[in-house]
Amino acid sequence: MPDAPRTPGTSGVPPLRAEVLLDQDVTDGLGDDLVAALDGLGVRTARVRRAVGHRGAGDVPWLVLAALPLQAFLSGLGAEAVRDAYAAFKAAVGRLARRDGATAAPQRPLVLRDDRSGLSVVLEPDLPAEAYERLLGLDLTAFRVGPLHYDRQQSRWRSELDEAAG
């Protein structure tokens, strides 16, 4: 009989690895909160780096970029055992958004990028709870290009570039 699927990071399953790139505007404390939230979800941060400091805010469309095995990460989030850790992750994203909203610049999202396919999921600062719920069941193999954004009118994740390519 085959083994039941296990959450990454539990016994016998190696933890997921991520590289996190923080914009210069992200404080060390907020960066630490995000890394801790990812750790709680079974993602070990292999490296945390800062974006090049001489860019203007308009040159970096994201606040945080996390590269990791995205489908495995999303699949693991559905387990009951990680609900509290997932809440901590959403709270860290929310704190990043509130911090960024204090500036005159437009709010910039957290971006999750699949380290294998390069597909990106954009977590905008004010996503509704339903967007995160739908993200948990998202099959990334249904998309070719990305980036994926949550369409509030249609209540679904979509890639406009995939749709345009037909």
For 28, the domain range is: 17-125
Answer whether residue 63 shows pLDDT above 90.
no
Query: Could you tell me if residue 75 is inside a domain?
Result: yes
Q: Return the beta strands (E) in the chain as ranges.
A: 16-22, 43-50, 64-68, 110-114, 120-123, 149-151, 156-158
Q: Is the pLDDT of residue 109 over 90?
A: no
The answer to the question of residue 69 being in a domain is yes
* Position 134 in a domain: no
Asked if pLDDT for residue 88 goes beyond 60, the answer is: yes
What pLDDT is recorded for position 3? 40
The verdict on residue 137 lying in a domain is no
Amino acid at the residue 160: E
In whole angstroms, how far apart are CA 113 and each of 12, 29, 81, 121? 25, 22, 24, 6
Reported as a pLDDT band with limits 50, 70 and 90, residue 99 is: low
Instruction: Mention every residue, 6+ apart, whose C-beta is less than 8 A from residue 163.
Output: none
For residue 12, tell me if it sits in a domain. Answer: no
Please say whether the beta carbons of 24 and 57 come within 8 A. no
Q: Is residue 50 part of a domain?
A: yes
Instruction: For residues 41-56, give the mean pLDDT.
Output: 77
Is residue 1 very low, low, confident or very high in pLDDT (cuts 50, 70, 90)? very low
CATH of the domain at 81: 3.30.429
State how far the alpha carbon of 63 is from the alpha carbons of 31, 75, 87, 122, 124, in Å.
10, 24, 20, 11, 10
Q: What percent of the chain has pLDDT over 90?
A: 18
Q: What is the pLDDT of residues 49-59, one digit of tens each?
A: 998 765 554 45
Number of domains in the chain: 1
Whether residue 95 is predicted with pLDDT greater than 60 in this model: the reply is yes
pLDDT at 151: 95
Mean pLDDT, all residues of the chain: 78
In a domain, 6, yes or no: no
End-to-end Cα distance, the chain: 41
Question: Which residues make beta-bridge pairs with 113?
Answer: 67, 120
Pick 88 or 28 by higher pLDDT.
28
Mean pLDDT of 133-149: 89
Residue 156 within any structural domain of the chain:
no
